[in-house]
Amino acid sequence: MGAEDWGWLVPIDNEAFPLWVGCGNYEEYQNGFLCFIEPSKSTVRRGLFRKVDTTARVSEVAQALDKILASRADIQGLRWWSEDEAVT
């Protein structure tokens, strides 16, 4: 885990490609937080010619994160944005 200028980066063990969750303040809402999973794309390049599909592993992380957050009574307004809605 490491502090970044935008919040916290939490690495996740994953041999196939770098994988992490980021979490920072979401200032549009009181006590708001924005969490995201990287990589955000369905494939990443590993080496010069190899592409790795990230879909299954990122989905597992998203489901686990959703389950953890939804289980907390003090967390409200949980929302997953589509890639089209996300700010780039």
Highest mean pLDDT among 41-45, 47-51, 56-60, 80-84: 56-60
Question: Closest Cα partner for 37 from 71, 2, 83, 85?
Answer: 83
pLDDT at 62: 94
Quote the pTM value.
0.83
* Cα–Cα separations (whole angstroms), residue 16 to 6, 60, 75, 80: 26, 14, 32, 25
pLDDT at 70 over 70: yes
pLDDT at 87: 60
Q: Is the peptide bond before 39 cis (omega within 30 degrees of 0)?
A: yes
Rounded to an integer, the average pLDDT of 35-51 is: 90
pLDDT at 25 over 60: yes
53's tokens: 């599909």
Band of pLDDT at residue 15, cut at 50, 70 and 90: very high
Rounded to an integer, the average pLDDT of 54-66 is: 95
* Cα–Cα separations (whole angstroms), residue 78 to 5, 19, 32, 75: 24, 22, 10, 7
Give the separation between CA 29 and CA 84, rounded to whole angstroms: 21
20's tokens: 């992490």
